[in-house]
């Protein structure tokens, strides 16, 4: 006798996360403090102090369930983005928002469209509903929006767009996204995943929440895991018109965001100084890494996020060599990019330590 799971579940390739520091320390007998992790696009500054204070206060109330509706955090988001509270969905990370959209909208027989080399969770969220994936070939490692529009068929209910994209770091300008939204049928929901929005230069940023007025089929997804430095807490949010927000709320776990996370996120949202430091540090580190890669004659994809995709050839060997040096980066063979590594921007001294080890491992 064996357990019978749906074929669409047994076919799923589980998500491959960046190697945890504790695991590398165990496996290679290294001290955790000596390890540099540039593998998961985390904020090298760690958590904002404003969030730490809010979390400490929230711990006293952990005997109680969280506010299922997350009133305080929604109020803060509402104020910050100028959207009504009934347009906000809170998520256990923005990963949760992607899954809520999939669970609310997809069933076997439906399809979701996303790009080759786009975020791995789009495939997972699609597959776990039994829907079909329509994977559109990338253009220069980024989204080919014309081809994605053409790929939408009668079964399609959902489109995922990461902007900037992970793992390639590419970016699509506002006017191209707006033209895409205008061309998509109104019964096809577009998830615009802006996990790295805060790292964009001010000139490239655009207020996608404004598009909710024009597009009842739009979900904008944001996270506290990257520039806000709260990856371990798991908080993100989605912005969409009330009809769509209501659908996602129906498939949501009642207490999907814990109370410590709710408090920390509300505090971090108002911490402009921290965001500014995160942004500035990233600009500097990104330029440094890209400049070094260019200097080494390595191909890389110019990035709009807090990471760079660089072509190294035998990526497994280079990854392994870096691990031995106590540095964790991210192999992306599971994305169909077996010759590349994705390197997250770290603190200046972490970037330098990485570059030194990297040059050594590559024999340059």
Ligand X SMILES: *Cc1c(COP(=O)(O)O)cnc(C)c1O
In the complex, the residues that contact ligand X under the rule CB under 6 A are 41, 93-95, 119, 162, 166, 193, 195, 223, 225-226, 231, 236
Nearer to ligand X, 149 or 342 (CB): 342
CB of 360 to ligand X, least distance (A): 29
CB of 103 to ligand X, least distance (A): 15
Kindly state the helix (H) or strand (E) to which residue 245 belongs, with its residue range.
helix 242-250
Q: Show the tokens assigned to 7.
A: 């074929």
CB of 7 to ligand X, least distance (A): 27
Q: Which stretches of 16-128 are assigned E, i.e. beta strand?
A: 36-37, 88-91, 111-115
CB of 61 to ligand X, least distance (A): 24
CB of 53 to ligand X, least distance (A): 22
CB of 209 to ligand X, least distance (A): 17
Nearer to ligand X, 125 or 212 (CB): 125
Dist CA 50 CA 267 (whole Å): 6
Nearer to ligand X, 237 or 354 (CB): 237
> Which of 92, 65, 87, 67 has the alpha carbon at shortest distance from 77?
87
Per the listing, tokens 């204070």 go with 53
> Which of 79, 101, 80, 106 has the alpha carbon at shortest distance from 89?
101
Which DSSP category does 81 fall into? Answer: H
> Which of 128, 119, 199 has the alpha carbon at shortest distance from 159?
119
Nearer to ligand X, 120 or 134 (CB): 120
> Which of 202, 235, 249 has the alpha carbon at shortest distance from 85?
249
Nearer to ligand X, 106 or 353 (CB): 106
CB of 265 to ligand X, least distance (A): 11
Using Cβ positions, the residue closest to ligand X within the complex turns out to be 93
Nearer to ligand X, 19 or 226 (CB): 226
CB of 101 to ligand X, least distance (A): 12
Nearer to ligand X, 180 or 361 (CB): 180
Per the listing, tokens 């014309």 go with 146
Q: Is the peptide bond before 167 cis (omega within 30 degrees of 0)?
A: yes
Q: Long-range contacts for 345-348 (Cβ within 8 Å, ≥24 apart)?
A: 345/38, 345/44, 345/281, 345/282, 345/285, 345/286, 345/289, 345/306, 345/307, 345/308, 346/36, 346/38, 346/44, 346/285, 347/44, 347/45, 347/281, 347/285, 348/281, 348/284, 348/285, 348/288
Nearer to ligand X, 228 or 321 (CB): 228
Q: Show the tokens assigned to 300.
A: 């890389």
């Amino acid at each position: 006798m064996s357990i019978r799971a749906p074929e669409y579940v047994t076919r799923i390739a589980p998500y491959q996360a960046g190697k945890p520091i504790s695991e590398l320390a165990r496996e290679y007998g290294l001290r955790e403090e000596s390890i540099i992790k540039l593998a998961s696009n985390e904020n090298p500054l760690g958590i904002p102090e404003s969030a730490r204070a809010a979390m400490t206060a929230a711990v006293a109330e952990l005997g109680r369930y969280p506010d299922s509706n997350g009133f305080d955090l929604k109020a803060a988001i509402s104020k910050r983005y100028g959207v009504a509270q009934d347009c906000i969905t809170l998520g256990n990370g923005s990963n949760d928002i992607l899954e809520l959209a999939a669970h609310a909208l997809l069933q076997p027989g439906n399809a979701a469209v996303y790009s080759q080399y786009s975020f791995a969770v789009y495939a997972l969220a699609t597959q776990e509903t039994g829907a079909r994936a329509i994977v559109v070939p990338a253009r220069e490692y980024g989204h080919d929006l014309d081809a994605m529009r053409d790929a939408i068929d009668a079964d399609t209910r959902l489109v995922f767009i990461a902007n900037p994209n992970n793992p390639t770091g590419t970016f699509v300008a506002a006017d191209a996204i707006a033209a895409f939204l205008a061309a998509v049928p109104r019964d096809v929901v577009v998830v615009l995943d802006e996990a790295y929005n805060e790292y964009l230069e001010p000139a490239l940023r655009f207020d996608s929440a404004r598009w909710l007025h024009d597009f009842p089929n739009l979900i904008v997804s944001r996270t506290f895991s990257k520039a806000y430095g709260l990856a371990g807490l798991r908080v993100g949010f989605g912005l969409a018109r009330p009809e769509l927000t209501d659908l996602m709320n129906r498939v949501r776990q009642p207490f999907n965001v814990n109370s410590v996370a709710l408090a920390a996120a509300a505090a971090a949202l108002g911490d402009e100084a921290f965001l500014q430091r995160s942004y500035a540090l990233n600009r500097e580190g990104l330029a440094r890494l890209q400049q070094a890669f260019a200097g080494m004659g390595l191909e890389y994809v110019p990035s709009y996020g807090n990471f760079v995709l660089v072509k190294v050839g035998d990526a497994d060997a280079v990854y392994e060599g870096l691990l031995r040096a106590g540095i964790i980066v991210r192999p992306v063979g599971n994305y169909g990019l077996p010759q590349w590594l994705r390197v997250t921007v770290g603190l200046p001294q972490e970037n330098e330590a990485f570059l030194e080890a990297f040059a050594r491992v590559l024999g340059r």
